[in-house]
Homo-oligomer: A and B are copies of this chain.
Amino acid sequence: MSEYIGHDRNGATIGLVEKQFFTFAGTDDQFALESGASLGPVTIAYETCGTLNQDKSNAVFVLHALSGDSHVAGYYKADDAKPGWWDIMVGPGKGIDTDKYFVICANILGSCMGSTGPASVNPATQKEYATDFPMITIGDMVRSQKALVDHLGIKRLLAVVGGSVGGMQVLEWCVRYPDMVASAVPLASTCRHSALAIAFNEVARQSIMADPNWCSGHYYGKTKPGMGLAIARMIGHITYLSDESMRLKFGRRLQNKSALSFEFGADFQVESYLQYQGNKFIERFDANSFLYITKAADYFDLAREHGNGSLVKAFSKTSARFLVVSYTSDWLYPTYQSKEMVTAMKKNNLNVSFCEIEAQWGHDAFLLPNDKLNNLMKGFLRSAAHEPASV
């Protein structure tokens, strides 16, 4: 297990962290998947920050969204340009306080940041899986995370926390392993994708699969389907923002202030921003992983999988206490979807706090600095750990 290194009590970050790998296998080296297919052995890349206490009761598992990774906070090297993706939340004295809690974050199954995914080498063929990789589900992701938690010797997580697709994993954890979850924080999330969310994902997938370089997924070692993936990311980015945030951030401001180009280039700043985001994404993300993870998110349906169609029944399987957070301008997973889960939780007499945070930044708001969220998180974890409020 990695040590909590280089922590500066006055610093804004948790210091240096390192990526670790845990490999496991089921029967005959195969991890049986919900689809009926199997995969193995499976490697999970993860990072930890903070110190696991004696009785292993202070672990918080942070679950990342679509394109995230295990690098949740801190730096790998002292001169890294940027810390982990949720450094604003995870660190000494922060919302998830690494002076108190042992934070785990693992790259999800199917991704391309160290955990087994379609770009990994299939031991059976010694070639990348590509689209021979089996379809995975949010349930499969959580089952692989559970293997990691077992490996770390942790019997019960103090909390599972995550936004967006990470929030789906939070919910899955609670109902699948109720004895292992004391509390849970799904942020900007949903119990199932709406038709609108599926539609955006499907168009994004179509744009990848329409790229002739996709080659039915077998592009490793060749030219990548960069254009298709960039367009998929651009579509995603639009859904992460909001009408208001785009108006404030870009409005109709031109790239070249003097005039319209009367050409098919990027006239408006919002156009070049999206192109930049699309191009940046293809440097760091695998197109097949995008396909598999979005499909897993579309398939996710907590009520269908765990409640025979009833969300109330699904939540009857957990006893975790919850902090549910939504954002006013999130139109990908709007507040009414968080309220649906809160209603079903309350019908089970679960201990639930719900907060809709006023924010103009759309779905992305959960990743942006927000004192309100940090304070909510602090208070909630303190209460989950049965610490006195004054600590």
User: Interface on A for B, CB 8 Å cutoff?
Assistant: 35-37, 131, 134-135, 192-196, 198-200, 202-203, 205-207, 209-212, 227-228, 230-231, 234-235, 238, 241-243, 246-247, 249-252, 260, 262-264, 266-268, 270-271, 274-275, 278, 291, 295, 298-299, 301, 331, 334
Are A199 and B135 touching (Cβ within 8 A)? Answer: no
Are B238 and A298 touching (Cβ within 8 A)? Answer: no
Q: Which 9 A-B pairs have the closest CB atoms?
A: A195-B246, A210-B227, A135-B262, A35-B262, A195-B250, A195-B270, A202-B271, A203-B234, A196-B243
Are B274 and A202 touching (Cβ within 8 A)? Answer: yes
Please judge, given known A-B contacts A135-B263, A207-B207, whether A195 and B235 are in contact too, CB under 8 Å. no
- Within the oligomer, what is the number of copies of this chain? 2
Which B residues are in CB contact (< 8 Å) with A275? 206
Report the separation of the CA atoms of residues A64 and B212 in the bound assembly, to the nearest whole angstrom.
35
CB distance from A130 to the nearest CB of B (A): 12
Are B199 and A295 touching (Cβ within 8 A)? Answer: no
Are B199 and A274 touching (Cβ within 8 A)? Answer: yes
Please judge, given known A-B contacts A203-B231, A266-B202, A331-B243, whether A195 and B301 are in contact too, CB under 8 Å. no
Which B residues are in CB contact (< 8 Å) with A271? 198-199, 202
Which B residues are in CB contact (< 8 Å) with A263? 135
Are A264 and B295 touching (Cβ within 8 A)? Answer: yes
Which B residues are in CB contact (< 8 Å) with A211? 210
